[in-house]
Amino acid sequence: MAQASNLPARNVKGNVSPQEKILYVANKLGISSLKYMQGTTRCVYDQSVTAAANHTLFEGSAGRDFPLTNLGANGNQFQVDEALLIEQIGFFVPDAADGQNFARDTTNSFIFDLIIGNKTVMKDVAVETSGQQAFYNDGGAASKVITLEGVGILIPPQVEFKLNVRPCVTKGRAASSIRVGAYLYGTGVLLNFNTSI
């Protein structure tokens, strides 16, 4: 059976690896240099330490210092020849305005949109303590981590990204005004002229 031309090639086991997806998307975007960069595992996070019913995370992160975010001066876009293939998205609740401690949260759920560039690539995704049907949840009583099925979503170099997050009370779905943080975890690419992924 012929493979569809708009899909990345499959490996021996029939699955697309994160590296293959990164190179496939980079090729479609005309970014030929990513294959010469350093592969890595990467986790970026941001948090809003002001209680609110709506949060936009990662946007404006260049104006926040560590430990509120681990993104540097470039903020919510990666440098030339850097990228992140998101494989997990996790949420947490800072218990103080300094962003250094986290509360064990068992009463809130989160509904979010992931926006990369000017495209909403995930819309109205619910993250529940008890899990959900489309995504794997690690099952902990206060867990708010989802693992993206398949091969994840790529944030390419120099493209802004953000999460719009709406916390709600799990029972009854009323809006919840709380602090919120999130991290994006997965396979990354770092600028390196000596190593290929």
- Domain definitions of the chain by residue range: 18-190
134, pLDDT greater than 60? no
Angstrom distance (rounded) from CA 121 to CA 40: 23
Least confident of 25-29, 41-45, 97-101, 118-122: 97-101
List the 119-127 sheet strands across, edge first.
55-57, 161-169, 108-116, 119-127
pTM: 0.81
Mean pLDDT score of the chain: 81
Please report, rounded to a whole number, the percentage of residues in the chain having pLDDT higher than 70: 81
The dihedral of CA 98, 100, 101, 102: what is its sign?
Answer: positive
154, pLDDT greater than 70? yes
Query: Residue range 42-58: average pLDDT?
Result: 94
Query: Residue range 152-175: average pLDDT?
Result: 92
Query: Residue range 36-52: average pLDDT?
Result: 90
Least confident of 1-10, 39-48, 103-112: 1-10
- Highest mean pLDDT: which of 87-96, 174-183, 187-196? 174-183
Find the radius of gyration of the CA atoms of the chain: 18
21, pLDDT greater than 60? yes
Protein fold of 18-190: Jelly Rolls (2.60.120)
